[in-house]
């Protein structure tokens, strides 16, 4: 029989990540009760309809009352105001975590509102799809994916280890990082790729020599794969870039340098440079597959699975 890690878990925000956490917690049997709150009445109504959590609350304060673990699953720009709202209700001994993809600015916004006797430990599950909302979650989202654990300086080791055990029970691998390194890593593997995808889709929209119908009809040639991640939640990504500005700009600068080098190789007919570059980058793709973080199936292993 599974061991309960937290008697009551409160999910603030009921989108893809929080919904998947709830379903994964039920699968693993690690939470006694799961409460949930979302700002939108429509989201709360949907969550009740599909029984996403054990109890949907109409305020964040009600959701966190008596909770042993509080999960902030809202856009990173909203985490400070949410913490300000709930700080007086958090019970002594509770742990607060977040699932945002930026950490330095989240710590800055959240830590002033962590009461004495309450621990904050940041986490970031490196898993997701382009879908959002309470119906988008599925229990397998975190299986064999990485969850980065980002404790602030002086965090209680027992609280950190307990949270790591929790994420392991949800199917994830865990690795600790400091906030600044986390933000740089995520700028490379997530933030800038999303920005490039948004840009490429925007270029297609602006390029009047290619019709909308042609873009849609022939998208399987590569454009389709840009549009998948460019369909992600715009509020979340706006906040990511505003709060991880320095790391994103640094990686964008490196990307621009690489792009100029490739432009020069194409212009001058330097086939050796292009071949060497593509060989190197192909090896990285193979490494991702060998690590079990994707599949080499023609449809990327997504098929008709939920979240594909």
| Residue 303 pLDDT exceeds 50 | no
Q: What are the structural domains of the chain?
A: 6-177 (3.40.50.720), 181-269 (1.10.3660.10)
Query: In angstroms, how far is CA 1 from the centroid of its own chain?
Result: 30
Q: Would you state the pLDDT for residue 302? A: 46
Q: Would you state the pLDDT for residue 306? A: 45
Q: According to the per-residue pLDDT averaged within each range, which of 96-100, 196-200, 224-228, 277-281 is highest? A: 96-100
Provide the greatest CA pair distance for the chain: 66
d(CA 64, CA 14): 14
Mean pLDDT of 293-308: 51
The angle subtended at Cα 262 by Cα 259 and Cα 264, nearest 5°, is: 110
The angle subtended at Cα 264 by Cα 260 and Cα 270, nearest 5°, is: 135
Helix ranges restricted to H, 96-232: 104-110, 157-169, 179-186, 192-206, 212-217, 223-230
Question: Mind listing the pLDDT tens digit for each residue in 102-120?
Answer: 999 999 999 999 999 999 9
| Residue 188 pLDDT exceeds 90 | no
Question: Mind listing the pLDDT tens digit for each residue in 236-295?
Answer: 888 888 888 898 889 889 889 988 999 999 999 999 999 998 888 888 777 766 777 766
d(CA 54, CA 48): 9
């Amino acid at each position: 029989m599974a061991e309960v890690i937290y008697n009551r878990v409160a999910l603030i925000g009921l989108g893809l990540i929080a919904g998947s956490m709830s379903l994964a917690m039920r699968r693993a049997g690690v939470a006694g009760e799961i409460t949930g709150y979302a700002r939108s009445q429509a989201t709360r109504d949907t969550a009740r309809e599909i029984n996403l959590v054990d109890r949907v609350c109409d305020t964040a304060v009600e959701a966190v009352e008596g909770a042993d673990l509080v999960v902030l699953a809202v856009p990173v720009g909203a985490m400070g105001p949410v913490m300000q709202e709930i700080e007086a209700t958090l019970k002594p001994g509770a742990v607060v975590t977040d699932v945002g993809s930026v950490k330095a600015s989240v710590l800055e916004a959240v830590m002033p509102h962590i009461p004495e006797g309450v621990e904050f430990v940041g986490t970031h599950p490196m898993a997701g799809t382009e879908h959002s909302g309470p119906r988008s979650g599925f229990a397998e989202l975190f299986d064999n994916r990485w969850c980065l654990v980002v404790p602030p300086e002086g965090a209680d080791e027992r609280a950190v280890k307990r949270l790591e055990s929790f994420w392991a029970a949800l199917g994830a691998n865990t690795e600790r990082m400091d906030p600044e390194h986390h933000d740089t890593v995520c700028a490379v593997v997530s933030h800038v790729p999303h920005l490039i995808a948004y840009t490429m889709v925007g270029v297609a929209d602006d390029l009047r020599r290619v019709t909308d119908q042609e873009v849609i009809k022939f998208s399987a040639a590569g454009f389709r794969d840009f549009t998948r991640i460019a369909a992600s939640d715009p509020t979340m990504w706006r906040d990511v870039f505003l709060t991880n500005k320095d790391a994103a700009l640094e990686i964008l600068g490196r990307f621009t340098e690489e792009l100029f080098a490739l432009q020069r190789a194409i212009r001058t007919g330097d086939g050796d440079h292009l071949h060497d570059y593509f060989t190197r980058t192909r090896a990285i793709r193979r490494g991702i597959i060998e690590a079990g973080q994707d599949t080499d199936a023609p449809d990327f292993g997504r098929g008709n699975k939920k979240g594909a």
